[in-house]
Amino acid sequence: MPHPRFRLSLASSASQHQFCLFTRRNPDVSSTKLLESRRSESLVERVVQFTGPRTVEVAEHESEPLPPGHVRVRTRYSGISAGTELTAYRGTNPYLTRTWDPESRLFTDDAAGMSYPVVGWGYSEVGEVTEVSPELADAPGLPQVGDLAWGIWGHRSEGIVPAARMAGHRLPDGLDPLAGAFARVGAIAYNAVLGADIHLGEDVAVFGQGVIGLLTTRLAQLNGARVSAVDALDARLEHARTHGATTTLNARTDSVAERLREATEGRGADAAIEISGAYPALHEALRSVAVGGRVVAAGFYQGDGAGLRLGDEFHHNRAQLVCSQIGGVPQALDGRWSVERLQRTFLRLVGEGRVDVASLVSHVLPVADAAQAYELLDERPGEALQMVLAF
Protein backbone atom coordinates (compact mmCIF):
# COMPACT_ATOMS: atom_id res chain seq x y z
CA MET A 1 0.00 0.00 0.00
CA PRO A 2 1.39 3.43 -0.81
CA HIS A 3 2.25 5.64 2.11
CA PRO A 4 -0.31 8.46 2.53
CA ARG A 5 2.40 10.71 3.93
CA PHE A 6 6.15 10.81 4.26
CA ARG A 7 8.05 12.68 6.94
CA LEU A 8 10.86 14.77 5.55
CA SER A 9 14.04 15.16 7.50
CA LEU A 10 17.68 16.04 7.10
CA ALA A 11 20.18 15.47 9.87
CA SER A 12 21.75 18.85 9.06
CA SER A 13 18.44 20.68 9.40
CA ALA A 14 16.76 21.60 12.67
CA SER A 15 13.36 21.83 11.04
CA GLN A 16 11.08 19.06 9.90
CA HIS A 17 8.49 19.22 7.18
CA GLN A 18 5.64 17.07 5.98
CA PHE A 19 4.78 16.57 2.35
CA CYS A 20 1.42 15.16 1.30
CA LEU A 21 1.48 12.86 -1.70
CA PHE A 22 -0.51 13.93 -4.73
CA THR A 23 -3.34 11.78 -5.95
CA ARG A 24 -3.54 11.07 -9.67
CA ARG A 25 -5.36 14.37 -10.19
CA ASN A 26 -4.78 17.45 -8.09
CA PRO A 27 -7.63 17.30 -5.55
CA ASP A 28 -7.50 21.03 -4.81
CA VAL A 29 -8.99 22.10 -8.14
CA SER A 30 -11.16 24.65 -6.39
CA SER A 31 -8.19 26.66 -5.18
CA THR A 32 -7.98 29.58 -7.61
CA LYS A 33 -4.96 31.02 -5.87
CA LEU A 34 -3.07 27.76 -6.16
CA LEU A 35 -3.83 27.46 -9.87
CA GLU A 36 -2.80 31.07 -10.49
CA SER A 37 0.42 30.48 -8.58
CA ARG A 38 1.18 27.43 -10.68
CA ARG A 39 0.51 29.29 -13.93
CA SER A 40 2.97 31.96 -12.81
CA GLU A 41 5.56 29.39 -11.77
CA SER A 42 5.20 27.60 -15.11
CA LEU A 43 6.82 30.58 -16.82
CA VAL A 44 10.04 29.86 -14.94
CA GLU A 45 11.96 26.61 -15.09
CA ARG A 46 13.98 25.56 -12.06
CA VAL A 47 16.84 23.15 -12.66
CA VAL A 48 19.37 21.49 -10.37
CA GLN A 49 22.97 21.85 -11.49
CA PHE A 50 26.42 20.94 -10.23
CA THR A 51 28.69 23.96 -10.67
CA GLY A 52 31.71 22.02 -9.42
CA PRO A 53 32.53 18.99 -7.28
CA ARG A 54 30.14 18.88 -4.32
CA THR A 55 28.61 22.23 -5.28
CA VAL A 56 24.88 22.28 -6.03
CA GLU A 57 22.69 25.15 -7.16
CA VAL A 58 19.08 25.50 -8.23
CA ALA A 59 19.05 27.82 -11.24
CA GLU A 60 16.07 29.52 -12.84
CA HIS A 61 15.45 30.00 -16.56
CA GLU A 62 12.55 31.17 -18.65
CA SER A 63 10.46 28.33 -20.00
CA GLU A 64 10.99 27.59 -23.67
CA PRO A 65 8.23 27.28 -26.29
CA LEU A 66 7.22 23.71 -27.07
CA PRO A 67 8.74 22.59 -30.39
CA PRO A 68 6.88 20.28 -32.77
CA GLY A 69 6.92 16.61 -31.88
CA HIS A 70 7.38 17.21 -28.15
CA VAL A 71 5.51 16.96 -24.87
CA ARG A 72 5.79 19.32 -21.90
CA VAL A 73 5.65 17.69 -18.47
CA ARG A 74 5.44 19.57 -15.18
CA THR A 75 7.56 17.63 -12.69
CA ARG A 76 6.09 16.42 -9.43
CA TYR A 77 8.87 14.15 -8.24
CA SER A 78 12.42 13.40 -9.32
CA GLY A 79 14.43 10.64 -7.65
CA ILE A 80 18.14 11.12 -6.97
CA SER A 81 20.48 8.32 -7.99
CA ALA A 82 22.96 7.57 -5.22
CA GLY A 83 25.25 5.91 -7.76
CA THR A 84 25.52 7.56 -11.17
CA GLU A 85 24.60 11.06 -10.02
CA LEU A 86 27.07 11.04 -7.15
CA THR A 87 29.87 10.39 -9.63
CA ALA A 88 29.15 13.78 -11.21
CA TYR A 89 28.58 15.38 -7.81
CA ARG A 90 31.94 14.09 -6.52
CA GLY A 91 33.81 14.71 -9.76
CA THR A 92 34.75 11.08 -10.45
CA ASN A 93 32.59 10.46 -13.51
CA PRO A 94 34.75 9.39 -16.48
CA TYR A 95 32.94 11.82 -18.78
CA LEU A 96 34.53 14.68 -16.81
CA THR A 97 38.01 13.67 -17.97
CA ARG A 98 37.48 11.58 -21.12
CA THR A 99 35.20 11.36 -24.14
CA TRP A 100 33.01 8.42 -25.08
CA ASP A 101 33.01 7.74 -28.81
CA PRO A 102 29.69 6.03 -29.61
CA GLU A 103 30.93 4.89 -33.03
CA SER A 104 34.05 3.06 -31.85
CA ARG A 105 32.52 2.45 -28.40
CA LEU A 106 35.76 3.51 -26.76
CA PHE A 107 36.74 6.24 -24.33
CA THR A 108 39.41 8.57 -25.63
CA ASP A 109 41.72 10.89 -23.73
CA ASP A 110 41.42 13.76 -26.22
CA ALA A 111 39.11 15.91 -24.11
CA ALA A 112 36.44 15.76 -21.46
CA GLY A 113 33.02 14.72 -22.68
CA MET A 114 31.31 17.11 -20.28
CA SER A 115 32.30 19.86 -17.90
CA TYR A 116 30.83 21.87 -15.06
CA PRO A 117 28.21 23.11 -14.74
CA VAL A 118 26.52 19.73 -15.10
CA VAL A 119 22.89 20.68 -15.62
CA GLY A 120 19.74 18.70 -14.97
CA TRP A 121 21.12 15.29 -14.17
CA GLY A 122 18.61 12.72 -13.02
CA TYR A 123 16.76 9.87 -14.67
CA SER A 124 13.78 9.13 -12.43
CA GLU A 125 11.06 11.68 -13.08
CA VAL A 126 7.28 11.70 -12.87
CA GLY A 127 4.98 14.60 -13.62
CA GLU A 128 1.80 15.91 -15.19
CA VAL A 129 1.55 16.52 -18.92
CA THR A 130 0.67 20.18 -19.43
CA GLU A 131 1.15 20.58 -23.20
CA VAL A 132 1.31 18.34 -26.24
CA SER A 133 2.40 19.44 -29.68
CA PRO A 134 -0.85 20.02 -31.65
CA GLU A 135 -0.11 17.43 -34.32
CA LEU A 136 0.18 14.80 -31.56
CA ALA A 137 -3.17 15.40 -29.91
CA ASP A 138 -4.83 12.04 -29.23
CA ALA A 139 -1.85 10.14 -30.66
CA PRO A 140 -2.19 6.46 -29.67
CA GLY A 141 -0.10 5.53 -26.64
CA LEU A 142 1.05 9.08 -25.95
CA PRO A 143 0.15 10.66 -22.59
CA GLN A 144 -2.16 13.63 -23.06
CA VAL A 145 -2.72 16.85 -21.14
CA GLY A 146 -3.70 16.07 -17.55
CA ASP A 147 -2.13 12.61 -17.53
CA LEU A 148 0.61 11.67 -15.12
CA ALA A 149 3.63 10.31 -16.95
CA TRP A 150 7.05 8.96 -16.06
CA GLY A 151 10.32 9.28 -17.92
CA ILE A 152 13.72 10.91 -18.01
CA TRP A 153 14.08 14.68 -18.20
CA GLY A 154 16.34 15.40 -15.23
CA HIS A 155 15.96 17.40 -12.04
CA ARG A 156 14.01 20.30 -13.47
CA SER A 157 10.57 21.72 -12.84
CA GLU A 158 9.42 20.89 -16.36
CA GLY A 159 10.59 18.62 -19.09
CA ILE A 160 10.31 19.20 -22.83
CA VAL A 161 10.58 15.64 -24.08
CA PRO A 162 10.45 14.16 -27.60
CA ALA A 163 7.15 12.38 -27.99
CA ALA A 164 8.87 9.15 -29.02
CA ARG A 165 10.44 8.97 -25.57
CA MET A 166 7.08 9.38 -23.83
CA ALA A 167 5.02 6.85 -25.78
CA GLY A 168 3.62 4.28 -23.38
CA HIS A 169 4.74 6.27 -20.35
CA ARG A 170 1.35 7.19 -18.94
CA LEU A 171 1.33 6.22 -15.27
CA PRO A 172 -1.10 3.33 -14.79
CA ASP A 173 -4.35 4.23 -13.05
CA GLY A 174 -4.28 3.68 -9.31
CA LEU A 175 -0.51 3.75 -9.03
CA ASP A 176 0.96 6.17 -6.52
CA PRO A 177 2.71 8.99 -8.41
CA LEU A 178 5.92 8.35 -6.47
CA ALA A 179 6.07 4.87 -7.98
CA GLY A 180 6.70 6.45 -11.38
CA ALA A 181 10.04 7.70 -10.10
CA PHE A 182 11.16 4.06 -9.74
CA ALA A 183 10.65 2.97 -13.35
CA ARG A 184 14.29 3.38 -14.34
CA VAL A 185 15.97 2.17 -11.15
CA GLY A 186 13.61 -0.80 -11.16
CA ALA A 187 14.64 -1.57 -14.73
CA ILE A 188 18.32 -1.47 -13.72
CA ALA A 189 17.65 -4.06 -11.01
CA TYR A 190 15.49 -6.12 -13.37
CA ASN A 191 18.22 -6.10 -16.02
CA ALA A 192 20.80 -7.36 -13.52
CA VAL A 193 18.53 -10.24 -12.52
CA LEU A 194 18.01 -11.19 -16.17
CA GLY A 195 21.78 -11.06 -16.65
CA ALA A 196 22.29 -13.48 -13.77
CA ASP A 197 20.23 -16.13 -15.60
CA ILE A 198 18.71 -17.38 -12.35
CA HIS A 199 17.00 -20.76 -12.24
CA LEU A 200 14.33 -21.85 -9.78
CA GLY A 201 15.81 -22.79 -6.40
CA GLU A 202 19.30 -21.43 -7.03
CA ASP A 203 21.38 -19.59 -4.44
CA VAL A 204 22.06 -15.97 -5.36
CA ALA A 205 24.09 -13.37 -3.47
CA VAL A 206 23.33 -9.68 -3.96
CA PHE A 207 26.16 -7.34 -2.98
CA GLY A 208 24.97 -3.84 -2.09
CA GLN A 209 21.61 -3.11 -0.51
CA GLY A 210 20.92 0.45 -1.51
CA VAL A 211 17.74 1.17 -3.43
CA ILE A 212 18.69 -0.75 -6.58
CA GLY A 213 20.24 -3.55 -4.52
CA LEU A 214 17.08 -3.99 -2.48
CA LEU A 215 15.01 -4.10 -5.66
CA THR A 216 17.46 -6.65 -7.07
CA THR A 217 17.04 -8.76 -3.94
CA ARG A 218 13.27 -8.70 -4.31
CA LEU A 219 13.27 -9.45 -8.03
CA ALA A 220 15.75 -12.31 -7.61
CA GLN A 221 13.52 -13.77 -4.91
CA LEU A 222 10.49 -13.41 -7.17
CA ASN A 223 12.48 -15.26 -9.82
CA GLY A 224 12.76 -18.28 -7.52
CA ALA A 225 16.16 -17.72 -5.94
CA ARG A 226 17.20 -18.14 -2.33
CA VAL A 227 18.84 -14.76 -1.78
CA SER A 228 21.71 -13.79 0.50
CA ALA A 229 22.03 -10.02 0.86
CA VAL A 230 25.41 -8.41 1.55
CA ASP A 231 26.07 -4.87 2.74
CA ALA A 232 28.26 -3.02 5.22
CA LEU A 233 25.31 -1.24 6.86
CA ASP A 234 23.09 -3.16 9.28
CA ALA A 235 20.13 -0.85 8.63
CA ARG A 236 20.15 -1.81 4.96
CA LEU A 237 20.38 -5.49 5.83
CA GLU A 238 17.22 -5.06 7.91
CA HIS A 239 15.51 -3.71 4.81
CA ALA A 240 16.86 -6.63 2.79
CA ARG A 241 15.05 -9.10 5.04
CA THR A 242 11.74 -7.42 4.29
CA HIS A 243 12.52 -7.47 0.56
CA GLY A 244 13.05 -11.21 0.30
CA ALA A 245 16.55 -12.02 1.58
CA THR A 246 16.79 -15.35 3.39
CA THR A 247 20.26 -14.58 4.76
CA THR A 248 22.00 -11.28 5.43
CA LEU A 249 25.75 -10.82 5.75
CA ASN A 250 27.67 -7.79 6.94
CA ALA A 251 30.61 -7.15 4.62
CA ARG A 252 32.66 -5.63 7.45
CA THR A 253 32.19 -8.32 10.09
CA ASP A 254 31.29 -11.54 8.25
CA SER A 255 33.56 -13.73 6.14
CA VAL A 256 31.15 -13.50 3.25
CA ALA A 257 32.57 -16.05 0.80
CA GLU A 258 33.12 -18.59 3.56
CA ARG A 259 29.63 -18.10 4.99
CA LEU A 260 28.05 -18.51 1.57
CA ARG A 261 29.89 -21.76 1.01
CA GLU A 262 28.80 -23.03 4.41
CA ALA A 263 25.20 -22.27 3.49
CA THR A 264 25.44 -24.10 0.15
CA GLU A 265 27.10 -27.37 1.18
CA GLY A 266 30.48 -26.05 0.12
CA ARG A 267 29.50 -25.10 -3.44
CA GLY A 268 29.19 -21.35 -3.26
CA ALA A 269 26.45 -19.24 -4.78
CA ASP A 270 25.16 -20.18 -8.21
CA ALA A 271 25.22 -16.50 -9.11
CA ALA A 272 26.15 -13.19 -7.54
CA ILE A 273 25.02 -9.70 -8.48
CA GLU A 274 27.31 -6.82 -7.48
CA ILE A 275 25.35 -3.58 -7.50
CA SER A 276 27.34 -1.28 -5.19
CA GLY A 277 30.05 -0.29 -7.66
CA ALA A 278 32.83 -1.05 -5.15
CA TYR A 279 35.80 -3.08 -6.42
CA PRO A 280 36.34 -4.95 -3.12
CA ALA A 281 32.69 -6.02 -3.25
CA LEU A 282 33.13 -7.25 -6.82
CA HIS A 283 36.17 -9.22 -5.71
CA GLU A 284 34.20 -10.80 -2.85
CA ALA A 285 31.40 -11.65 -5.26
CA LEU A 286 33.92 -13.48 -7.45
CA ARG A 287 35.16 -15.35 -4.36
CA SER A 288 31.61 -16.31 -3.41
CA VAL A 289 30.33 -18.14 -6.48
CA ALA A 290 30.63 -21.81 -7.28
CA VAL A 291 32.98 -23.19 -9.91
CA GLY A 292 31.70 -21.79 -13.19
CA GLY A 293 29.29 -19.52 -11.33
CA ARG A 294 28.15 -16.24 -12.81
CA VAL A 295 28.91 -12.79 -11.41
CA VAL A 296 26.97 -9.83 -12.75
CA ALA A 297 28.83 -6.53 -12.39
CA ALA A 298 25.99 -4.02 -12.35
CA GLY A 299 27.55 -1.12 -10.43
CA PHE A 300 29.12 2.01 -11.94
CA TYR A 301 32.77 1.42 -11.04
CA GLN A 302 35.07 4.42 -10.78
CA GLY A 303 38.81 4.70 -11.43
CA ASP A 304 41.33 1.87 -11.26
CA GLY A 305 40.24 -1.51 -9.93
CA ALA A 306 41.91 -1.37 -6.52
CA GLY A 307 41.00 -4.44 -4.51
CA LEU A 308 40.08 -6.57 -7.53
CA ARG A 309 42.47 -9.53 -7.91
CA LEU A 310 41.55 -11.50 -11.00
CA GLY A 311 44.34 -14.02 -10.52
CA ASP A 312 42.70 -15.43 -7.41
CA GLU A 313 39.29 -17.14 -7.24
CA PHE A 314 38.08 -15.65 -10.52
CA HIS A 315 40.84 -17.46 -12.39
CA HIS A 316 40.96 -20.68 -10.38
CA ASN A 317 37.20 -21.21 -10.21
CA ARG A 318 36.62 -20.20 -13.83
CA ALA A 319 33.92 -17.74 -12.81
CA GLN A 320 31.85 -16.04 -15.49
CA LEU A 321 31.96 -12.25 -15.21
CA VAL A 322 29.32 -10.35 -17.16
CA CYS A 323 28.28 -6.72 -17.18
CA SER A 324 24.76 -5.42 -16.80
CA GLN A 325 24.20 -1.84 -17.95
CA ILE A 326 20.87 -0.19 -18.68
CA GLY A 327 21.93 0.79 -22.21
CA GLY A 328 20.67 -2.63 -23.30
CA VAL A 329 19.43 -6.03 -22.19
CA PRO A 330 21.37 -9.34 -22.17
CA GLN A 331 22.12 -10.26 -25.77
CA ALA A 332 20.41 -13.63 -25.53
CA LEU A 333 17.16 -11.83 -24.68
CA ASP A 334 17.48 -8.97 -27.12
CA GLY A 335 14.79 -10.26 -29.45
CA ARG A 336 12.13 -10.37 -26.73
CA TRP A 337 13.18 -7.90 -24.07
CA SER A 338 14.04 -4.21 -24.23
CA VAL A 339 14.70 -1.43 -21.75
CA GLU A 340 11.16 -0.20 -22.36
CA ARG A 341 9.75 -3.61 -21.51
CA LEU A 342 11.87 -3.73 -18.34
CA GLN A 343 10.48 -0.40 -17.17
CA ARG A 344 6.85 -1.14 -17.94
CA THR A 345 7.00 -4.64 -16.49
CA PHE A 346 8.57 -3.33 -13.32
CA LEU A 347 5.77 -0.79 -12.86
CA ARG A 348 3.23 -3.55 -13.49
CA LEU A 349 4.80 -5.61 -10.70
CA VAL A 350 4.57 -2.60 -8.41
CA GLY A 351 0.91 -2.12 -9.33
CA GLU A 352 0.22 -5.80 -8.62
CA GLY A 353 1.72 -5.41 -5.16
CA ARG A 354 4.58 -7.80 -5.85
CA VAL A 355 7.28 -5.16 -5.42
CA ASP A 356 7.20 -2.55 -2.66
CA VAL A 357 8.77 0.80 -3.53
CA ALA A 358 7.00 3.03 -1.00
CA SER A 359 9.09 1.69 1.88
CA LEU A 360 12.28 2.64 0.02
CA VAL A 361 11.49 6.37 0.06
CA SER A 362 13.33 7.82 3.05
CA HIS A 363 13.16 11.51 2.14
CA VAL A 364 10.93 13.72 0.00
CA LEU A 365 12.51 17.16 -0.03
CA PRO A 366 11.64 20.41 -1.80
CA VAL A 367 13.95 21.09 -4.72
CA ALA A 368 15.30 24.13 -2.87
CA ASP A 369 16.98 21.67 -0.49
CA ALA A 370 18.79 19.78 -3.26
CA ALA A 371 22.25 20.68 -1.92
CA GLN A 372 21.46 19.17 1.49
CA ALA A 373 20.03 16.08 -0.20
CA TYR A 374 23.25 15.36 -2.09
CA GLU A 375 25.36 16.14 0.97
CA LEU A 376 23.43 13.59 3.00
CA LEU A 377 23.76 10.88 0.36
CA ASP A 378 27.46 11.62 -0.01
CA GLU A 379 28.50 11.90 3.63
CA ARG A 380 25.94 9.84 5.56
CA PRO A 381 24.57 7.19 3.20
CA GLY A 382 23.36 5.05 6.07
CA GLU A 383 20.73 7.68 6.90
CA ALA A 384 18.96 7.59 3.54
CA LEU A 385 17.60 5.28 0.88
CA GLN A 386 15.64 6.81 -1.97
CA MET A 387 15.96 10.58 -1.91
CA VAL A 388 13.22 12.33 -3.88
CA LEU A 389 13.01 15.98 -4.88
CA ALA A 390 9.53 17.50 -4.94
CA PHE A 391 8.71 20.33 -7.35
Using pLDDT thresholds of 50, 70 and 90, give the confidence band for residue 8.
Answer: very low
| pLDDT > 70? residue 240 | yes
> 144-152 — which CB contacts under 8 Å span 24+ positions?
146/25, 147/171, 148/24, 148/76, 148/177, 148/180, 149/71, 149/73, 149/180, 150/125, 150/126, 150/180, 150/181, 150/183, 150/347, 151/73, 151/125, 151/126, 151/183, 152/122, 152/123, 152/124, 152/125, 152/184
Task: Give the closest residue to 209 by CA, choosing from 196, 220, 224.
Answer: 220
Q: What is the mean pLDDT of residues 81-90?
A: 97
The mean pLDDT value for 93-114 works out to 93
131: amino acid identity, one letter: E
Residue 91 has pLDDT above 80, yes or no: yes
- Torsion (CA) 133, 139, 144, 147 in degrees, nearest 10: -150
Indicate whether 269 pLDDT > 70.
Answer: yes
Distances, alpha carbon 106 to alpha carbons 92, 94, 99, 261, 306, in Å: 18, 12, 8, 38, 22
The whole-model pTM stands at: 0.89
| Per-residue model confidence as pLDDT tens digits over 143-174 | 999 999 999 999 999 999 999 999 999 999 99
CB neighbour burial string for 325-335, b if at least 16 within 10 angstroms, e if fewer = ebeebbeeeee
Burial class (CB in 10 A: 0-12, 13-18, 19+), 340: middle
Would you say residue 31 has pLDDT above 70? no
Answer whether residue 322 shows pLDDT above 60. yes
111-115, 210-214, 230-234: which has the minimum mean pLDDT? 111-115
Domains of the chain: 5-171+357-390 (3.90.180.10), 185-333 (3.40.50.720)
Q: Please name which of 324, 214, 317, 193 lies closest in space to residue 261, comparing C-alpha atoms.
A: 317
Q: pLDDT per residue over 46-78, tens digit each?
A: 999 999 999 999 999 999 999 999 999 999 999
Q: How far is CA 187 from CA 10, 107, 282, 342, in A?
A: 28, 25, 21, 5
